Chains A and B, each alone.
Chain A
């Protein structure tokens, strides 16, 4: 066994806490989790059963935490976890799981299988068994600051565009502002309209905000590859920048895993609580609307539906806000049959979008989203995650559909009343 594998084994060992132990103790192999996982439902391959993806960690738990396992290891009867197990399970752990969380919602004994896979990835990443694309993304994030290699220079250029188009000034490194916002590289590169949208909204609502030139990246590749050191480092950059600028709030943008990283895992990764609060852009917009500061006019008659980003809605808890906002700008908001916390994943979360090897599988399982769309009979899909957006657009193109995908924040910005904007 290589050294690296031993380290991976040790990392995995340390992840077994009371939660994991109770989960393995309670699992009766009923197989219901398979029915919730879109990798299984669209392929019927039993190996995509969520709890099956956890066999390596189960082996370790059984051997070291149960009577039969311990007895077996004394007499050399139980199988130890080997490097081959890591190699064999890599595709299951990374290619066929987006950490979407549906399985955790249906398990009859309440197992949070998503949590378990997140923990198992810690062992895999240390042992080196992770997809190349994700490893590269993490390296770039640690070295350059962004998994896509976006530097402040790129951002500055994008900001300049926005300032020119809107005539507004974008405050950078403004100390003492109330809100510091982050961006995901995906937004900066593919959907810079998002930046323009929030600039206009904050101007219209009088929000005091800023961007840090040192830490603007929201995406956290460490969370996706499952490496707490990398994840902690990336979160820490944001925390230090926010402390430097003495802001009250950090805004998590339209990016799923970014929210999970900064809002829920962050303080645990760096080992301390923040001196500021984390708020999702949708939470902020809804708050502003409720306070009357966000004035919106007319409602679109186009029928629209909502794709709920897994990490924001089901795993993040921002469930009602997207619906409130969409209802205030759309007359014909049609919910998908499985909506809210039980909506289906786009298929690209959890690092799968950065994994080239998983592309054919990902395009195949898009069938689920396709079926959902066809059921609603609607051609416009609104969402609040840039990664979802690009994945959905790819799936739509692959299936030659004519659905349009819109960002919720951009949609809200489009409906700002003329008087509230100082154009």
Chain B
């Protein structure tokens, strides 16, 4: 009974909340509007925007002398999570079955496991650092910790269900993913989408000034 609920209505509900929530958040940001910049530009705003959306993924050397392990952890987590979310066979099957109707090539199983391990490594290092560093301790609020916990839970339950032999384990994983989807639009996790806006706006401004940011 619970199984049907998790597989059925709760899935539809969580996916809808996610999609509508994400779109709504982005729309409200855009609707706040920006005043037109009347100063004569030196360079192109759109080129700057596109440039910064990609270039910010490369870290700035002069600020990274002490944060090296953190930077590596950040890359490991994000890249690992992206790989395992979209290129692990069980996930592709799920998405193909429930959302898109068609799948795509999966990465080999060993790559799936490797991505998972790297993602865990990154997340654990980042999360422990968040709890230890005076800077992040000052900055972090409930939202940050809840986000970290939920993502970790989804990853952990997924790992526990890796054998794909028990319905209960699969359902716990799906349930935690659904909770994450519901929480997503109301939290910092939105940076997954809004980073394009924030990087873009800054890139545009700096591009107009002729600075590669």
Chains A and B come from one and the same complex: yes
Q: Are A49 and B38 also in contact (CB < 8 A) when A21-B29, A22-B198 are?
A: no
- Knowing A46-B138, A105-B60, A115-B205 are in contact, say whether A26-B197 is a contact too (CB < 8 A): yes
In Å, the complex CA distance between A106 and B65 comes to 13
A18 interface contact, C-beta 8 A: yes
Within 8 A of A (CB), among B57-98: 57, 59-60, 62-67, 70, 74
Alpha-carbon distance A29/B66, docked complex (angstroms): 17
Q: In the complex the two chains form, is A29's CB within 8 Å of B186's CB?
A: no
CA distance A26 to B64 in the complex (A): 20
Q: Which of A141-196 contact B (CB under 8 A)?
A: none
In the assembled complex, the Cα of A159 lies from the Cα of B40 at a distance in Å of 32
A115 cross-chain contacts in B, Cβ below 8 A:
202, 205
In the bound assembly, the distance between CA atoms of A30 and B144 in angstroms comes to: 10
Stretch touching chain B among A259-267, A291-299, A380-388: A259-267
What's the minimum C-beta distance from B195 to chain A, rounded to whole angstroms? 4
Q: Does A198 contact B (CB under 8 A)?
A: no
Contact A317 B139 (CB under 8 A): no
Instruction: Give the size of the chain A interface in residues (CB under 8 angstroms).
Output: 61
User: Which residues in B have their C-beta under 8 angstroms from that of A22?
Assistant: 29, 194, 197-198, 201
9-residue interface stretch from B109-117, B129-137, B156-164, B173-181: B129-137
The answer, yes or no, to whether B4 is at the interface (CB within 8 Å) is no
Residue of B nearest to A108 (CB): B56
Whole-angstrom distance between the Cβ of B131 and the nearest chain A Cβ? 12
**Is the CB–CB distance between B202 and A111 below 8 Å?**
yes
B29 contacts A277, C-beta separation under 8 Å: no
CB distance from B184 to the nearest CB of A (A): 12
Note all chain A residues with C-beta closer than 8 A to B170: none
Contact status A26-B198, CB under 8 Å: yes
Is A264 touching B191 in the complex (CB atoms < 8 A)? no
Nearest chain B CB to A212's CB is how many angstroms away? 21
- Choose one: B74, B135, B202; the contact of A34 (CB below 8 Å): B135
Q: Is the CB of B209 within 8 A of A317?
A: yes
Given the interface contacts A17-B35, A106-B63, A267-B38, does A27 sit within 8 Å of B191 by beta carbon? Answer: yes
CB-contact partner of A17 in B34, B66, B185, B186, under 8 A: B34
User: Are B194's CB and A273's CB within 8 A?
Assistant: no
> How many whole Å from B129's CB to the nearest CB in chain A?
9
What are the interface flags for A14-25 relative to B under an 8 Å C-beta threshold, 1 for contact and 0 otherwise?
A: 001111111101
B122 within 8 A of A: no
| Contact status B186-A52, CB under 8 Å | no
Among residues of B, the one whose C-beta sits closest to the C-beta of A338 is B62
CB-CB under 8 A from B136, the residues of chain A are 29-31
User: Does A75 touch B at the CB level, under 8 Å?
Assistant: no
- A200 at interface (Cβ–Cβ under 8 A)? no
The complex places the Cα of A383 from the Cα of B213 at a distance, in Å, of 22
Docked complex Cα distance between A264 and B133 (Å):
37
Give A52 to B209 CA distance when docked, in angstroms: 27
A398 at interface, CB cutoff 8 A? no
- Whether the pair B40, A109 counts as a contact (CB closer than 8 A) is no
Most chain A CB neighbours (cut-off 10 Å) among B33, B39, B140: B39
Chain A 31-49 interface 0/1 with B at a Cβ cutoff of 8 Å (1 = within):
1101110001000101101
- Kindly supply a per-residue 1/0 record for chain B positions 199-213, scoring 1 wherever the CB is within 8 Å of any chain A CB and 0 otherwise: 111110100011111
Question: Which residues of A lie under 8 Å from residue B33 when comparing CB positions?
Answer: 17-18
Taken residue by residue from 89 to 115, chain A's Cβ proximity to chain B (1 for < 8 Å, 0 otherwise) reads as 000000000000010111111111001
Complex alpha-carbon distance, A20 and B29, angstroms: 9
Residue pair B38, A268 in contact (C-beta under 8 Å): yes
Asked if A104 meets B39 with Cβ closer than 8 Å, knowing A17-B32, A18-B34, the reply is no
Instruction: Specify which chain A residues have a CB less than 8 angstroms from the CB of B203 in the assembled complex.
Output: 110
B52 on the interface (CB 8 Å rule)? yes
Residues of B within 8 A of A (CB): 25, 28-35, 37-40, 42-43, 52-53, 56-57, 59-60, 62-67, 70, 74, 130, 133-141, 144, 147, 185-186, 188, 190-191, 194-195, 197-203, 205, 209-213
Chain A positions within 8 Å of B, measured between CB atoms, are: 16-23, 25-32, 34-36, 40, 44, 46-47, 49, 51-52, 65-68, 102, 104-112, 115, 263-268, 271-273, 277-278, 314-317, 319, 337-338, 341-342
Q: Can you spell out 20 A-B residue pairs with CB atoms less than 8 angstroms apart?
A: A16-B32, A17-B33, A20-B32, A22-B194, A22-B197, A22-B201, A26-B194, A26-B197, A27-B191, A31-B139, A65-B32, A102-B63, A105-B60, A110-B52, A268-B37, A273-B38, A317-B42, A317-B211, A341-B212, A342-B62
Task: Contacts A111-B202, A267-B39 known; list 16 others, CB within 8 Å.
Answer: A17-B32, A17-B35, A25-B190, A29-B188, A36-B60, A36-B63, A46-B135, A49-B139, A52-B139, A66-B186, A108-B59, A110-B53, A110-B201, A115-B202, A273-B40, A341-B211
9 A-B pairs with the lowest CB-CB distances in the bound complex, closest first? A110-B199, A267-B38, A317-B210, A317-B209, A31-B135, A22-B197, A29-B139, A26-B198, A46-B134
